[in-house]
């Protein structure tokens, strides 16, 4: 009969760096979407867009952003 020594598996110390990187990337995505939302009234005022046109602006942004993500 073989017995194993009492060895505890130590977590990888790099996990905190990975967590920070993933959290920061998520933060940037949220900030990017927020900036577009904040800019929409200015876009409407300067370019004279209607509410329907602003929806197209947001949709185009999301398609380009989502397409460049992968």
Domain that holds residue 37: 32-70
Structure confidence at residue 1 (pLDDT):
55
Query: Is residue 7 a part of any domain in this protein?
Result: no
Question: Quick check: pTM over 0.75?
Answer: no
Instruction: Return all residues near 37 (Cβ < 8 A) that are at least 6 apart.
Output: 58
Query: Is residue 70 a part of any domain in this protein?
Result: yes
Query: Is residue 64 a part of any domain in this protein?
Result: yes
Query: Is residue 63 a part of any domain in this protein?
Result: yes
Query: Is residue 41 a part of any domain in this protein?
Result: yes
Query: Is residue 1 a part of any domain in this protein?
Result: no
- pLDDT (tens, 9 = 90+) of the chain, 70 residues, equals 555 666 678 888 889 999 999 999 989 888 888 888 899 999 999 999 999 999 999 888 888 877 765 5
Domain count, the chain: 1
Structure tokens at 3: 């017995």
Query: Is residue 50 a part of any domain in this protein?
Result: yes
């Amino acid at each position: 009969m073989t017995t194993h020594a009492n060895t505890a598996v130590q977590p990888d110390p790099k996990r905190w760096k990975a967590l920070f990187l993933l959290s920061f990337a998520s933060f940037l995505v949220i900030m990017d979407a927020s900036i577009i939302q904040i800019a929409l009234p200015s876009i409407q005022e300067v370019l004279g867009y209607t509410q329907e046109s602003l929806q197209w602006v947001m949709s185009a942004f999301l398609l380009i952003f989502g397409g460049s993500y992968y």
